[in-house]
Structure 1
Amino acid sequence: MGNCLAETDEDRARLSLEAKRNKQLDKELQLEEKAGRLVHKLLLLGAGESGKSTFFKQLVRIHDKGYDVNSRRAFERSIYKNIINSVYFLFKAVDTYGYTLDSKTVGLRDFFEETAPVDEEANWLIDDKMGDAIKAIWTDPAVQTAFKNRDDKATMFYLFDGAEYFFNKIDEVKADKYIPDEEDIVRCRIRTSGIIEKSFEIKGNHFRIFDVGGQRAERRKWIHCFQNVTAVMFIASLSCYNQSLFEDASSNRMTEAILLFEDISNSHWFAETAIILFLNKHDIFQQKIKSIPITECPSLAHFEGEGYEKSLAFIQMVFETSCQSPSQCVYTHVTTATNKQNVESIFESVQDIVIRKSMAEAGLLVNA
């Protein structure tokens, strides 16, 4: 984890504050343990856009109190921003790859680009008129063609995974009394910056879960979370094998995830920590693999099979064998973080792994 050093005075000041915060959190954990309250510290790690924060939001939804009205309202601006930026990305793809918009859509595009915000601090809002324009733009044949071809090598472009979901419910989003529901919150894309923490009590067991940003610039903050970790939950997107990083178009996303998992799973920080691997976005992968082979990823170019089952097994093998620590065991689960039931079921298994690990460390089990 050699990229954890600050580069500027501002970086150093921010990291110093985060280090102090982590020390305080560790003190709180120690106090709870002294009081006879065993706390399981779980760290959510993964590259950007892996679905890590989606998994975290599902846990809040399932095991915390969920999201009240005020909490849900706080996501409105981000949802508007997700949708508006997705329209901009679609228009850019239409221009780049030479698709032709209908004449009516050309007029709607003019209205959209004159009205929709572009500045980060602007008032991001989708009212009735803007919503109607977006709804019509989304149905344009050229836009639909660009969307369907977004993963093809010759016509690829970035579009966040929740775009289609929100376009299809634009009538609800544009309503005056729109308040995001919990499904909207799970689908909403917000880049994690810094460290987000939640505590849960499940069946008498106390869990403290930390979600940290996955982009490269965020990873220098991770090291402040590494102490006293019961388990690392590493989220990797199955569907990213033919995509590049948002922050570096020259780097393949899955290659980045494999290298990052190798770094984490072999780190001395986690020699005694349970490593739980989530191969996420299974639903998207299952569809994509029908037309795009995993050999599009440089790290998977030596794969000689075909089809869903063999491709999935090969990806799992590549991740698991990158962990070379003889004392380490990788527990792997195939997940769809947007599916509440799937996350709830799999987290039951995670609890079992974590509790058994803690009992083994306490000398109550022979093997974890």
Structure 2
Amino acid sequence: MGKKLSKKQESSETVHSQRIDEIMKTDNNEVQKEIKILVLGTGDSGKSTFLKQLQILYKGGFCEQDRFLYRTTIRVNLMYNMKTLIQIVEDLKIKIQKRTQKIVKRFDRSKKYCEENLTEKMKNAIINLWNDPGFKQAYERRNRFELSDSANYYFDSCERIFKEEYQPNDKDILFCRIPTTGVNEIELEVNNKFWKVVDVGGQRSERRKWIHQFESATIVVYITSVSEFDQQLSEDRSINRMHESLLLFDTISNGDFFKKKNFFILFNKIDILKKKLQTVDLSVCFPKYKGGKDLSLAIKFIKDKFMEIGENSTRNLFFQQTCAIDTENIKNIFGAVTTTVLEDDLKGGGYL
């Protein structure tokens, strides 16, 4: 059963939430002490960004030491992204200005992506390359290459990022790309309850580590990047990312561990999807799609694909559109998740 929360439902949820708070104040011991939320999805879907947002919202954000560590990673990300952009220019034989051709050779000689390579000359090189119209054109044609969606943000911020006193702000950190390996978790106290939110690696090689996390999970937040419908897996260039996400959802949702678990399915990177639909048709991924550039029709079509997978189940599927770098958006989404979990617990105990 698929659900998307309307304004009327959101109002109803507020009433339910208030009722839950009243019950928990008077009889808190009847509700389980720690609730586990499992965050799943393929690589690059936005799971790690989701957890970073929870760190900002409920754990006081990032300390000075965290920001210092992210500073190096962000700078390395920036260099790696430019190296990839150069590869796109070369592979697609995009014309660039003569003066930038010499700068490209300098990057070709730079094999290490580390702090000591981030010199003033390197900063100027990145800025000059990014200002070349050919590189802007290459960025718009990045779908067949492994270039981060946040690359343009970092390129535009290059001057600030290279300053000696640079300390990453929250947005810099949210955009920072570090592939999840193993299991990451964050413990929160929300609505007088303790929550453990677990994020596991989305790449194929990491998925075998998920199994021991399944049984004790109360609910699953499944994140899919809807903007990647025209992109391929980094592990297997013959596999479309959206198809892989649907296949993974099928495997998880119809497995023994989750037959009766509710799912929150987050359609992430909705802002990028809206822009991409203006130039790339969803039919490149789903040939039967006939909705053209209409965002609502595209979302409905993708939602129906997920619904088809879970149509024989009695569980609830809750659908939400998200932009993982939008803190307020994630706050509302997580509020809906926690309220749903608590309602189910209290209903099971005969409270609602």
Structure 1 length as normaliser, TM-score? 0.84
In 2, distance between residues paired with 1:116 and 1:172? Answer: 24
- Corresponding residue of 2:189: 201
Aligned pair partner of 2:45 in 45, 50, 73: 50
Q: Secondary structure at the match of 2:209?
A: helix
Contact 1:77 1:125 in 2 (8 A): no
In 2, distance between residues paired with 1:36 and 1:273? Answer: 18
1:36-63 CA deviation, whole Å, 9 max, x = no partner? 7621100000001111111111111111
Contact 2:31 2:345 in 1 (8 A): no
Q: Does 1:332 align with 2:319?
A: yes
Q: Secondary structure at the match of 1:108?
A: helix
- Corresponding residue of 2:166: 178
Residues matched between the structures, number? 324
Q: Secondary structure at the match of 1:70?
A: helix
Q: Does 1:281 align with 2:269?
A: yes
Q: Structure 1 regions of 5+ residues with no counterpart?
A: 1-32
- Corresponding residue of 1:267: 255
1:74-132 CA deviation, whole Å, 9 max, x = no partner? 112221221111111111111111112212212222223334515xxx55652322111
Aligned pair partner of 1:302 in 280, 288, 292: 288
Q: Structure 2 regions of 5+ residues with no counterpart?
A: 1-27
Aligned pair partner of 2:63 in 51, 62, 68: 68
Q: Does 1:130 align with 2:122?
A: yes
Query: How far off its partner does 1:202 sit?
Result: 1.1
In 1, distance between residues paired with 2:71 and 2:249? Answer: 33
**Paired letter, 1:51:** G
Query: How far off its partner does 1:258 sit?
Result: 0.5
In 2, distance between residues paired with 1:113 and 1:180? Answer: 28
Q: How does 1:1-368 map to 2 (within 5 A)?
A: 38-115=33-110, 117=112, 123=115, 125-151=117-143, 156-297=144-285, 300-306=286-292, 307-365=294-352
Contact 1:128 1:175 in 2 (8 A): no
**Relative contact order (alpha carbons < 8 A, sep ≥ 6): 1 or 2 greater?**
2
Give RMSD over aligned pairs.
Answer: 1.8
1:146-171 CA deviation, whole Å, 9 max, x = no partner? 112324xxxx4331111011001001
Structure 2 length as normaliser, TM-score? 0.88
**Paired letter, 1:272:** K
